[in-house]
Structures are given as C-alpha cells and as structure tokens.
Amino acid sequence: MATGTPYKAYEKANVHTADQRQMILMLYDGSIRFMRKAVNKIEEIDIESAHNYLIRARNIISELLATLKPEKAGEMGANLRQLYIYMFNRLVQANLAKDKEGVEEVIKLMSTLREGWAGVKQARKQNPESEEALPKRVNLEG
C-alpha cells in the first residue's frame, strides 16, 4: 500500500459527499494553499515549482468561474464573476513575472471570499429557515 493512500481515500470521499457550500470552501482552501506554496517557491527561486503551484491555483479559479451561475445570483453573481476574472488574470501576470506581491494580493482576496462563504455556511447551519441570518455584504477592501 502506498504512503498517503488512506488520506487520499478520505479526501476523495470528502469531496464526493460535500454540499455545494462546503465544496466552494474546499476550492477556496485549495487555491489559497497552492498560492502560499507558490509564494514560498518564488522566495526560494524555484521557478518551475512556483509556476506549477500558480497553475493549480489558477485552475481552481477557472473552475469556480465555470461553475458560477451569475444569472441566478443577480448583481452579486456578476460581481463575483468579475472578481474571479480579476484574480485569474492577476495570477497569470504574477506567474509571468514571478511577482509574489501579486500572488499575495489574490491570497488576500480569496481569503476574504472564503471568510464570507464560511459565514454563510455557519449562518445557514444555525438558522436554516432565516435568510436574515445571512451576511449581506463581504468587505473586499482592507
């Protein structure tokens, strides 16, 4: 049995049983993890590894963008779409220049989105019937 196989089996089962909100949190976590690794590799001047981590993070953002249904989410969905596009493009630029500040900017944005989704998930868990329990805005500045 290969090392790490039980973890991979757990991770696969977790993905297959996650609800939509949990899946989004997992995608946010994955992209943040890959971007942090990319920053470390940029600092270590390991260009190939940094590139690979940034591609993985970019692919996650691409998946988030592809599965977003802005027509169902109205203005908030359209804004989220624009933010995903911005983050995707920012990672492309950061990857070309190996610009760790650009990557850190996207980490900050993604972390803020993650906090917002975690708040939505928690609010729905505590009060599944009440839409008033949901946060109305996520502050992307600061």
Give me the chain's average pLDDT, please: 83
Residues ≥6 apart with Cβ < 8 Å to 54: 34, 35, 38, 91, 94, 95, 103
* pTM for the predicted model, two decimal places: 0.74
- Per-residue pLDDT at 55: 98
Q: How much is the pLDDT for 123?
A: 64
For the chain, what percent of residues have pLDDT higher than 90? Answer: 58
Structural domains of the chain, with CATH: 18-123 (1.20.120.340)
Distance CA 62, CA 110 (A): 13
Q: State the pLDDT at residue 19.
A: 81
Higher pLDDT residue, 50 or 68? 50
- Calculate ∠ Cα 121-119-77, nearest 5°: 80
pLDDT in tens, 28-37: 999 999 999 9
Predicted local confidence at residue 18, as pLDDT: 64
Backbone angles phi, psi at 16, to 5 degrees: -70, -20
- Whole-number Å distance between alpha carbons of 111 and 15: 20
CB 89 within 8 A of CB 52: no
Q: Which residues lie closer than 8 Å to 6 by C-beta, 6 or more apart?
A: none
Q: How far apart are CA 69 and CA 38, in angstroms?
A: 29
| CA distance linking residue 123 with residue 3, whole number of Å | 38
Per-residue pLDDT band for 5 (boundaries 50, 70, 90) equals: low
pLDDT tens, position by position, 64-121: 999 888 778 788 889 999 999 999 999 999 999 999 999 999 999 999 999 998 887 5
